[in-house]
Amino acid sequence: MLLATTKKGERQYLPLSTHTLSRKKKIVFCKFLQGVKVPKGYSSNTKNLVSVKYLKLKGLKSYDCQVLMEHLLSIGIRFILPKMVRWTIIKLCYFFKAFCSKVIDIGKLQTLEREIIVTLCELEMCFPPSLVDIMVHFTINLAKET
């Protein structure tokens, strides 16, 4: 996406990109995560993992990241991101949810592979190139390796 500069006085400014959250939106997202209640033993207490003061997640274990990616992220960003960015992230979350399930349908692997290719192209359109590196592209190989 092209970011046109705006001139204010003698300085020129770049507008915020579509995936950048304002402070208010970060607070909304952190308060959402802080208020999530899950069954005992499902994941860590998310209230202890979120710092609303500093607007950060802290002390996440690998399973907490998995629960966040597969379930909570797609719900938490519903109203705070633009449609294109939101749907791209949600499609990525659904890919990991389908791929990390206990039972994988062999017939759906080709569909998952096709969908993740499109999703990665959309990620490249929404986010800066420094975010979408070679590690993100390894998701294409997950379906093949399975």
The answer on 101 and 43 residing in a single domain is: no
Q: Are residues 48 and 87 in the same domain?
A: no
- Residue 88 sits at the vertex; the CA angle it makes with 47 and 45, to the nearest 5 degrees, is 10
Do residues 61 and 102 both lie within one domain? no
What is the residue range of 46's domain?
19-81
Q: Please say which residue of 28, 54, 81 terminates a domain.
A: 81
What are 65-97's pLDDT values in tens digits?
A: 999 999 999 999 999 999 999 999 999 999 999
Query: Do 55 and 100 fall within a single domain?
Result: no
Please report whether residue 145 resides in a domain. Answer: yes
pLDDT over 60 (residue 24): yes
Q: Are residues 37 and 94 in the same domain?
A: no
Q: How confident is the model at residue 144 (pLDDT cuts 50, 70, 90)?
A: confident
Residue 3 has pLDDT above 60, yes or no: yes
Please report which confidence band the pLDDT of residue 64 belongs to, taking 50, 70 and 90 as the band edges: very high
CA nearest to 30, candidates 18, 46, 14 = 46
